[in-house]
Amino acid sequence: MKRMKDCWPTIVLTATVLFGGACATTLTDHAAWIYPHTDALQQGMAGARARGLVLTDYHIHLRGGMTARKAAERQQQSGIRSGVLENYGREWPLHDKASLAAFIDEARSVQADARRLPVGIQVNDRDWYQQIEPELFAQLDFVLADTMIMGVGADGKPRRLWLPDVTIDDPEAWMRDYLAHNLRILDEPISILANPTYLPPCISNRYDQLWTEARMRQVIAKAVERGIALEIQTGSPYPKPAFLALAKSMGATFSFGSNNHDDVVKDPARWFEAIRQLDLKPENLWSLPDRP
Ligand SMILES: [Zn+2]
């Protein structure tokens, strides 16, 4: 179904409508950034409530038309809290003091349910905590990192492991480096490890062989020791159920994330599935430290 984008939210439309020639849509009953009121959503939310869980999406990028106001509206319509962030690093939208300060100011000005939204960054350079201005770091509610950039590519730039041209000659040797990379990131002052146990497409079919229990235990133990949440992301196959179950048994905490590229809401089915399968309780969910 085609949905309304970059237009007035929460307007019930029953036919193709033009708003001043700037915005067109076809049959729809909600704005793109609002969760559709499906039975699956109602059941998932009822299940979460029955367990005493308050869900927060800590991985809402403000990009591709997504805004803090839309995130606030999504929270008010769904009861799933919205945490907003954007990428910080040398080749990323927030790349210096001015761009980061402007992002924080704008995002912190938006409220939902009479509270401002949690505001964070996703970090991409491994020296980010040495580069960031301490007074800006202090204004952040959370910092999210994934492990999906490692080493240097042929172009001399940080290698983005998700790109299709990434090849790995010796997966076992690479995996030893990758585990060390994971553990180094968990030593950074981050709050959430996004998309844990990610593997590049060229070796994704070796997950069980490469992510041995011993390796998984090292990642989980470090996250537990450092109080870092392990993310369960919509639409991602990572981490696999064996990792999640092991993490829960070792006392890890979990967070939920979307990782959107535009303002279209993503299906939260994977969160609800994890809640059921892992029998999550409030103490299993990461919670935001109190900050002003
Ligand atoms: Zn992200």
pLDDT tens string 206-260: 999 999 999 999 999 999 999 999 999 999 999 999 999 999 999 999 999 999 9
Ligand 1 geometric centre to CA of 258 (Å): 8
In angstroms, what is the span from residue 135 Cα to ligand 1's centroid? 23
Residue 13 Cα to ligand 1 middle (Å)? 32
Domain ranges of the chain: 1-32, 34-284
Q: Look at residue 178 in the predicted model and tell me its pLDDT.
A: 98
Centroid of ligand 1 to alpha carbon of 4 (angstroms): 23
CA of 62 to the centre of ligand 1 (A): 10
CA of residue 58 to ligand 1 center, whole Å: 10
Ligand 1 midpoint to CA 261 (Å): 8
For ligand 1, a single-atom ion, which residues have Cβ within 5 Å?
122, 259
Q: What is the mean pLDDT of residues 51-56?
A: 98
What percent of the chain has a predicted confidence (pLDDT) above 70?
Answer: 89
Query: How many A from CA of 234 to the centre of ligand 1?
Result: 11
What pLDDT is stored for residue 108 in this prediction? 97
> What's the pTM value of the predicted model, to 2 decimals?
0.89
Q: Ligand 1 centre and the CA of 199: distance in Å?
A: 16
Task: Report how far ligand 1's centroid is from the alpha carbon of 106 (Å).
Answer: 19
Domain 34-284 listed as CATH 3.90.170.10:
no
Spacing, Cα 20 to ligand 1 middle (Å)? 34
**Alpha carbon of 48 to ligand 1 centroid (Å):** 24
pLDDT digits (tens, 9 = 90+) for 88-142: 999 999 999 999 999 999 999 999 999 999 999 999 999 999 999 999 999 999 9
Residue 20's pLDDT band, with cuts at 50, 70 and 90, is very low
Report CA(257)–ligand 1 centroid distance (Å).
Answer: 9
- SS (HEC) of the chain: CCCECCCCCCCCECCCEEECCCEEECCECCECCCCCCCHHHHHHHHHHHHCCCCCEEEEEECCCCCCHHHHHHHHHHHCCEEEEEEEECCCCCECCHHHHHHHHHHHHCCEECCEECCEEEEECCCCHHHHCCHHHHCCCCEEEECCCEEEECCCCCEEECCCCCCCCCCHHHHHHHHHHHHHHHCCCCCCEECCCCCCCHHHHHHHHHHCCHHHHHHHHHHHHHHCCEEEEECCCCCCCHHHHHHHHHCCCCEEEECCCCCCCCCCCHHHHHHHHHHCCCHHHECCCCCCC
Distance 275 CA to ligand 1 centre (A): 22
66-75 average pLDDT score? 98
